Structure 1
Amino acid sequence: MIWNFVQDQVLGMKWLNALIGRLLESVGIDITGRMGGSFQFFLYDVLKISVLLCCLIFLISYIQSYFPPERSKKIMGRFHGIWANCIAALLGTVTPFCSCSSIPLFIGFTSAGLPLGVTFSFLISSPMVDLGSLVLLMSIFCTKVAIVYVLVGLVIAVIGGTMIEKLHLEDQVEAFIRNASAVELDAPTLTKKDRLIYAKDQVTSTFKKVFPYILVGVGIGAIIHNWIPETWIEAVLGSNNPFGVVLATLIGVPMYADIFGTIPVAEALLFKGAQLGTILAFMMGVTTLSLPSMIMLRKAIKPKLLAVFVGICTVGIIILGYLFNAFSFLLI
C-alpha cells in the first residue's frame, strides 16, 4: 500500500491531475469533452514531467559529478571482455539524456583508446536507459515495467557493443579520431558545494534544452489521448497488426527527442490500446536511433560501421518489442 501511494501520488501525481480537473471545472471548462480533456492532459503532463525532470536532473547531475569523462575512461579501462561492456553500459545511465549529448563523450572515449565495442555499449545505453527513465516509467506504467525496460536496455547495450567488438571494425572509425592523442587529465576535486552548484546549473541548462520537446511530446499525447479513436490505434499498433512493433520502431527513427519527450506519447498510446512492447519499441527507436544523432555520429564513423550500429540496435529493439508483447501479461 505504501509503494502504491508513492507510485500513484508521489511519482504519478494523480492528486495534481484531480486538482487541475477541479480548477478547470471551476472556470466552466468541461473536462469530459475533447477540448477540456486535452487541456487537462496537457497541463497535467507538462507540470508533472517538469517537476520530475528538474528533481531527476539535479539528482543525476550530482551523481554524474563523481564520474567526469576522465574518471569514466579510467574505470572502463580497468575491465576487459564483456565486463567492460557491462561497466560502460552502466556508466551510460548517469550521463546526458539524449543521444546527441552522448556522441561527444563517445568520440572522447574512442580517441582515448578504449575498445570500440566498449564505447558503443556506452553510446547505446546512454540515451536509452538512465535513472530518469526508470522513475518516469514508474510514474506512468508500473514498477515491473520500468525495471524490465532498464534491464532490457542494458542487455541491448552490452550485446550490441560485444557484437561490434567481434566484427573488428576499428578501421571504420574516422582517421581524425583514431589518430587523436589521448590527454591524461586528473578528475578535479570538487567539494559538496561545487557539486550542488554543478547540479543546479545542469538543471537550468538541461531543462531549457529539453522543455520544448516536452511541450511537443505532451501536445502529441493530448491529441492521441482525446482526438484519435481507439480503433485506429488498435488497428495500427494493437495485437491485430503483426508488424506493429516494426512500424513503431521505424516511426521513431526520424524523430528527435529524449525519454522525457516520449513519455507522454507512450502514456497516450497505452491508454488507447497500443501494446506494451510496441510502445517501448517506439521509445527505444526515438531515443537511440534518431536521425539527427545518426547524422552527428556519421562524422565520427564510416558508413559501414554506422550501418552495423543501426542494424544491431534496430533488430534488438524489434525482437525485444515482440518479447514484451508476448509476455506483457506478466508485467501489467
Structure 2
Amino acid sequence: MFNELANWLVVDVFNLDLSSRLGGAMHFFIYDTTKILFLLAVMIFAVSFIRSFFPPEKVKEWLEGRRKGVASVMAAVLGVLSPFCSCSTVPLFIGFVEAGIPLGITFTFLISSPIVNEISLVMLFSMFGWKVAMIYVLAGMTLAIVAGAIIGKLKMEKHVESYVYELAAAGQERIHIPDGGSKTFVEKIKAVFSREELKERTTFAARNVVETVRKIWVYLLSGIGIGALIHGYAPQDLLVKYAGEGNLFAVPIATILGVPLYSNAVGSLPIVEALMNKGVGAGTALAFMMAMTALSLPEMILLRKIIKPKLIGVFVGVVTTGIILIGYGFNAIL
C-alpha cells in the first residue's frame, strides 16, 4: 500500500524516474513518512489502550528483579520477530517507556529490532550460508541484551524527556481502572469491557496518539528527509575505498561510515553482498550493516525528541563498541 502510493506520487504526480537519484530519494521519503506515521499512530494507540488496563507500577514490578534477564531475552527475540527499521522502532520505544518498562529492556528491543528479522535471516542464509546467518543473529541479539543491560545499570531514566513520563502519568489519571472488590470474575470482565469503559480507554488512546505525534512530527520528517538524501546521493564505492581489505582500521571505519546511511536489514543485505564480492571482509561488511541499521542518523534525530543527549551518547558509544568487536570477531573466524 505505502510502496504503491510512493510509486504513484513519484512517477505519475512528480513525473520522476524511480531509478534516478532524485526519484529514489523522493520515493524513500514518501514511503518511509507514510509508513512510519501509520505505524506511529497504530502502535501508540494499541500500546496506550493496553496500558490503560495496567498501571505502570505493575508493569515495572513484573519486569524488574529476577525476571529482568528473562525480559531482556524476550525483548531481543521480539526485536528479531519485528520487521522494523531503526526509525520505525521509535514509536514502540515511546510506548515501552510510557508503559513503565525498564529503560535497559526498552533499549534491548530498540537495538535488536532493526539489526535482523526473519526476512533478513532467510536472505543471510541464502547469500552466505547457515553459519554466517546464525552467528549474525546470535551476535545481534547478544549486542542488544548486553547494551541494554549496561544502559539499565547506569540508571539513566532521568535522561528521558520529562514529557514522556508526563504523558504516562496523565494517562493513568484520566483512566479509571475499576476496583474488582468482591465481584465475581465474570462481573469484573463485564465491568472492564463495558461500553463506557471502552469508550474512555479508546478516547485516552486516541488523545495520546495526537499528543505524541504533535511533539515529534518535525523530528520525524527531518530524520526521514536526511535519510532520503543520503539514500539517493551517497556514493556507493565509499566503503570499498576507505575500508577495503588489508586496512587494520577497516571495521571502525565501516562502522562510522554506516551511521549516516539509513536502511533496514533487508535493504542493506544486497549492499553487504556487493561489498564482500569486491573484497571487503565479512566482518567489516556486517559491521557496516549493523551500524547502518541500528545507529542511523535519522534515528538519532528522532530519539533526540524522546531522550537527552547524554543518553544518546551512551547508547551510541555502547552499541558502536559492540559492533566493532563483532566485526573484528567475524573477520577472525570467517
* Corresponding residue of 2:157: 170
Aligned pair 1:260/2:266, yes or no? yes
Amino acid at match of 2:112: S
* Corresponding residue of 1:156: 143
Q: Offset at 1:180?
A: 2.2
The change in CA–CA distance for 1:315 and 1:102 in structure 2 (over 3 A counts) is same
Contact 2:48 2:95 in 1 (8 A): no
| Equivalent-residue separation in structure 1 for 2:101 and 2:155 (angstroms) | 13
Aligned pair 1:93/2:99, yes or no? no
| Equivalent-residue separation in structure 2 for 1:138 and 1:241 (angstroms) | 27
The change in CA–CA distance for 1:311 and 1:71 in structure 2 (over 3 A counts) is farther
* Corresponding residue of 2:292: 286
* Equivalent position SS for 1:159: helix
Q: Deviations over 1:37-73 (max 9, x none)?
A: xxxxxxxxxxxxxxxxxxxxxxxxxxxx9xx747998
| Equivalent-residue separation in structure 1 for 2:303 and 2:104 (angstroms) | 15
Contact 2:105 2:149 in 1 (8 A): yes
Q: What pairs with 1:162-201 in structure 2 (closer than 5 Å)?
A: 162-181=149-168
The change in CA–CA distance for 1:318 and 1:267 in structure 2 (over 3 A counts) is same
RMSD over aligned Cα, in angstroms? 3.7
* Equivalent position SS for 1:300: coil
Q: What pairs with 1:130-141 in structure 2 (closer than 5 Å)?
A: 130-141=117-128
| Equivalent-residue separation in structure 2 for 1:278 and 1:244 (angstroms) | 6
Contact 1:156 1:316 in 2 (8 A): yes
Q: Could you tell me which of 317, 322, 330 is aligned with 1:316?
A: 322
Aligned pair 1:120/2:107, yes or no? yes
Aligned pair 1:246/2:245, yes or no? no
Aligned pair 1:106/2:112, yes or no? no
Q: How many residue pairs get matched?
A: 235
Segments of structure 2 that go 5 or more residues without pairing to the other structure are 1-42, 178-191, 199-223
* Equivalent position SS for 1:180: helix
| Equivalent-residue separation in structure 1 for 2:140 and 2:50 (angstroms) | 20
| Equivalent-residue separation in structure 2 for 1:94 and 1:143 (angstroms) | 18
Q: Could you tell me which of 296, 309, 313 is aligned with 1:307?
A: 313
* Corresponding residue of 1:35: none
| Equivalent-residue separation in structure 2 for 1:85 and 1:72 (angstroms) | 21
Q: Deviations over 1:169-205 (max 9, x none)?
A: 01000001122225689999xxxxxxxxxxxxxxxxx
Indicate the percent of aligned positions where both proteins have the same amino acid: 46
Higher mean C-alpha displacement, 123-132 vs 173-182: 173-182
Q: What pairs with 1:28-39 in structure 2 (closer than 5 Å)?
A: none
| Equivalent-residue separation in structure 2 for 1:144 and 1:295 (angstroms) | 35
Aligned pair 1:276/2:285, yes or no? no
| Equivalent-residue separation in structure 1 for 2:80 and 2:117 (angstroms) | 4
Q: Offset at 1:255?
A: 1.3
Q: Deviations over 1:129-167 (max 9, x none)?
A: 211221111121111101111110000000011000100
* Equivalent position SS for 1:240: coil
TM value normalised by structure 2: 0.62
Contact 2:104 2:150 in 1 (8 A): yes
* Corresponding residue of 1:49: none
Amino acid at match of 2:291: G
Q: Offset at 1:220?
A: 8.5
| Equivalent-residue separation in structure 2 for 1:72 and 1:268 (angstroms) | 44
Amino acid at match of 2:332: A
Q: Deviations over 1:11-51 (max 9, x none)?
A: xxxxxxxxxxxxxxxxxxxxxxxxxxxxxxxxxxxxxxxxx
| Equivalent-residue separation in structure 1 for 2:50 and 2:119 (angstroms) | 20
Segments of structure 1 that go 5 or more residues without pairing to the other structure are 1-64, 189-208
| Equivalent-residue separation in structure 2 for 1:275 and 1:70 (angstroms) | 45
Contact 2:304 2:312 in 1 (8 A): yes
